[in-house]
């Protein structure tokens, strides 16, 4: 396992677009994201091809790889922030220079479709990466205080940090400002009580599943799986993809399950999640908690892929504590 060096004020971070193009993000959102990162003391620069956009709303594989490699190779760049998610980050995996990444470890952050890169990097190099905010997140028009603070704790500080539970949230994918609804958050949903710890793996379930059966899929033995998905995913989609993970031979050594909050647009209810979990006998003996602040709602926490999660599921008093080891 390789721990990336902590960011500090004055560091330069590079924005790249391994999936959807930066060109899809409004200039006002990019500007706000820059101001947020600068408020943390960071200098913000951009890869050469971040605004490329082809048939799939992304740059070519060649150009996306160039930006990825240049960002890791440049010693002046201390961290890499992805622009957005999308559908095509796993296009890149056969072309990544894993030795280059291993020799130049640094903070790499993104979520959603970037899950493919998060876990491929961890599997092939041992480098801990971060499932957390991107430019589209930092530039959100709602109050981002909790998102920013959770990111700061994850990538600036050496100490373990406890995940907070937000009091309200909005969906990522409701882009019409006039329709954006602020929802009250009911806190963590305790499903199976217990205490455990393990390495953090999983995140965006449909993207994580793309790696199954490939050389890029991590060993999930000893993991606390943290799984979420977006509004396109309804409960039956989540159920069958979760079941596919349960069928893996390593699953009987998974230590716990944490389910991220679903967007309201997905129409997934607390009762559905509880019923789904309780029906699976393979989950009966591990702690399970849901409605945690990661995934496709804001605010969101930052999780180190390959880091450690201490999990206590104790009704209303559930606690989740994160560290790099």
Instruction: Report phi then psi at 321, rounded to 5.
Output: -120, 130
Q: Is 0.85 topped by the overall pTM?
A: yes
Q: Tell me, what's the pLDDT at 178?
A: 58
Q: Which residue has the tokens 């990544």?
A: 96
Answer yes or no: do 151 and 202 share one domain: no
User: Is residue 179 in some structural domain?
Assistant: yes
Q: In whole angstroms, what is the distance from residue 62 CA to residue 232 CA?
A: 29
Answer yes or no: do 150 and 232 share one domain: no
- Strand 297-298: give its sheet, edge to edge: 183-184, 168-171, 297-298
Answer yes or no: do 150 and 173 share one domain: no
Answer yes or no: do 146 and 234 share one domain: no
Answer yes or no: do 38 and 141 share one domain: yes
Q: In whole angstroms, what is the distance from residue 319 CA to residue 47 CA?
A: 38
Answer yes or no: do 143 and 173 share one domain: no
- Catalytic residue at 112? yes
Longest dimension (CA), the chain: 51
Answer yes or no: do 183 and 208 share one domain: yes
User: Is residue 7 in some structural domain?
Assistant: no
Count up the domains in the chain and report the number. 2
- 67: CATH: 3.40.50.10740
Among 119, 296, 312, 318, the one annotated catalytic: 296
**Structure token pair of residue 279:** 């029906």
Q: Residue 274: enclosing H or E segment and its boundaries?
A: helix 270-279
Q: Tell me, what's the pLDDT at 161?
A: 95
Task: Kindly give, in sequence order, each residue whose CB lies less than 8 Å from that of residue 320, ignoring residues fewer than 6 positions away.
Answer: 162, 163, 258, 289, 292, 309, 310, 311, 312
**Structure token pair of residue 176:** 């019409």
pLDDT-wise least confident of 48-52, 63-67, 71-75, 175-179: 175-179
For every residue of 179-232, DSSP letters joined together read G--PEEP---EEEE-EEEEEEEEEEEHHHHHHTTTSTTPPP-TTEEEEEE--TT
Which range of residues forms the domain containing residue 267? 168-323
Answer yes or no: do 176 and 300 share one domain: yes
Answer yes or no: do 126 and 260 share one domain: no
Q: In whole angstroms, what is the distance from residue 237 CA to residue 164 CA?
A: 28
Q: Tell me, what's the pLDDT at 140?
A: 84
Instruction: Give pLDDT tens digits for 301-311.
Output: 999 999 999 99
Q: In whole angstroms, what is the distance from residue 18 CA to residue 59 CA?
A: 8
Q: Residue 170: enclosing H or E segment and its boundaries?
A: strand 168-171
Nearest to 147 by CA among 168, 128, 127: 168
User: Is residue 177 in some structural domain?
Assistant: yes
Among 228, 263, 312, 318, the one annotated catalytic: 228
**Structure token pair of residue 259:** 């389910």
Contact 296, 232 (CB under 8 A): no
Answer yes or no: do 110 and 176 share one domain: no
* Four-CA torsion 210, 213, 216, 217, nearest 10 degrees: 80
Among 112, 131, 166, 266, the one annotated catalytic: 112
For every residue of 28-39, DSSP letters joined together read HHHHHHHHHHHH
How many helices (H) does the chain have, and how many strands (E)?
A: 9, 17
Instruction: Give pLDDT tens digits for 283-297.
Output: 999 999 999 999 999
pLDDT exceeds cutoff 80 at 76: yes
Instruction: Give pLDDT tens digits for 166-192.
Output: 998 888 765 555 567 888 888 999 999
- Catalytic residue at 197? no
The mean pLDDT of the chain is 95
SS3 302: coil
Answer yes or no: do 314 and 177 share one domain: yes
CA 62 from centroid of its chain's CA atoms: 24
- Catalytic residue at 266? no
Say how many C-beta atoms besides its own lie within 10 A of residue 91's C-beta: 17
Report DSSP state, residue 222. Answer: T
- 312: CATH: 3.50.30.60
Answer yes or no: do 112 and 197 share one domain: no
Q: In whole angstroms, what is the distance from residue 112 CA to residue 105 CA?
A: 22
Q: In whole angstroms, what is the distance from residue 275 CA to residue 97 CA?
A: 43
């Amino acid at each position: 396992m390789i721990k990336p060096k902590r960011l500090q004020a004055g560091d330069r971070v590079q924005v790249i677009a391994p999936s959807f193009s930066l060109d899809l993000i409004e200039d006002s959102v990019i500007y706000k994201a820059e101001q947020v990162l600068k408020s943390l003391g960071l200098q913000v620069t951009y890869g050469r091809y971040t605004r490329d956009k082809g048939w799939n709303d992304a740059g070519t594989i060649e150009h996306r790889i160039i930006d990825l490699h240049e960002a890791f190779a440049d010693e002046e760049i201390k961290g890499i922030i992805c622009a957005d998610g999308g559908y095509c980050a796993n296009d890149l995996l056969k072309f990544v220079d894993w030795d280059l990444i291993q020799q130049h470890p640094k903070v790499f952050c993104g979520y959603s479709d970037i899950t493919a890169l998060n876990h491929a990097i961890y599997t092939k190099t041992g480098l801990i990466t971060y499932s957390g905010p991107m430019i589209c997140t930092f530039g959100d028009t709602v109050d981002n205080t909790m998102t920013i603070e959770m990111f700061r704790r994850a990538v600036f500080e050496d100490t373990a940090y406890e995940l907070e539970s937000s009091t309200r949230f909005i969906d990522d994918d409701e882009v019409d400002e006039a329709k954006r609804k602020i929802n009250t958050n009911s806190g963590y949903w305790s499903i199976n009580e217990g205490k455990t710890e393990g390495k953090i793996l999983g995140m965006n379930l449909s993207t994580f599943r793309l790696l199954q059966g490939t050389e890029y899929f991590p060993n999930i033995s000893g993991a606390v799986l943290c799984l979420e998905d977006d509004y396109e995913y309804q409960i039956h989609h989540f159920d069958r993809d979760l079941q596919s993970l349960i069928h893996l031979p390593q699953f009987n050594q998974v230590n716990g399950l944490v389910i991220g909050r679903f967007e309201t647009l997905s129409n997934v209810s607390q009762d559905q999640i509880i019923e789904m979990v309780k029906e699976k006998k393979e989950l009966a003996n591990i702690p399970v908690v849901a409605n945690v602040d990661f995934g496709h709602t804001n605010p969101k926490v930052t999780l180190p892929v390959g880091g450690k999660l201490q999990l206590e599921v104790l009704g209303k008093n559930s606690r989740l504590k994160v560290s790099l080891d």
